[in-house]
Homo-oligomer: A and B are copies of this chain.
Amino acid sequence: MPLPQTEMPGRLQAYCAERGIRMTQQRRAILRVMETASKHLDAAQLLRKAQKLDASVDRSTVYRTLRLLKRQGLIDELDLMHIHGEGHYYERKLNRDHIHMACLRCGKIMEFVSDIFEKLKGQVEKDCRFRIVVSRLEIGGYCANCSK
């Protein structure tokens, strides 16, 4: 049976509570957006959505919270091949790492879970004696539709 690819809303806040991280009105709004977002928000989108929940949220609080969540290993930072601009995209870390594919023609972002990817990480840990904390595989190319 495949592992679930999402967790219940509230889980990010629960993690923060477990780790003794102070919860504020603004962080609650930002975490809620991260939890319910379909996918891949950049800082500006995250700010806009969080402000709908709490109008007082400031851009710097968004960046400070993103840094916090990154340090805690609760979110991943992506480039998505910089298909739209130079910024970063964020998504909450789920049970299994996945690969991101970005179509250079239509801009679609796809995800893919692979046992081979897990095996590759195992090889790096073993052969290089490297303890992996975070990994990111991003692929640019042409999706099935755009290759036709």
The answer to whether A17 has its CB under 8 Å from any CB of chain B is no
Q: How many copies does the complex hold?
A: 2
CB atoms of B114 and A101 under 8 A apart: no
CB atoms of B133 and A136 under 8 A apart: no
Min CB distance A145 to B, Å, is 9
Candidates B101, B130, B137; contact of A143 at CB < 8 Å? B130
Assuming A116-B116, A116-B120, A120-B116, is B139 touching A135 (CB within 8 A)? yes
Counting contact residues on chain A (CB < 8 A from B), the size range is: 35 or more
The answer to whether A53 has its CB under 8 Å from any CB of chain B is no
A127 surroundings in chain B (CB, below 8 A): 112
Assuming A135-B137, A137-B135, is B116 touching A130 (CB within 8 A)? no
The answer to whether A147 has its CB under 8 Å from any CB of chain B is yes
A121 surroundings in chain B (CB, below 8 A): 139
CB atoms of A131 and B147 under 8 A apart: yes
The answer to whether A104 has its CB under 8 Å from any CB of chain B is yes
Q: Which residues of A contact B (CB under 8 A)?
A: 77, 79, 81-82, 99, 101, 103-104, 110, 112, 114, 116-117, 119-121, 123-124, 127-144, 147
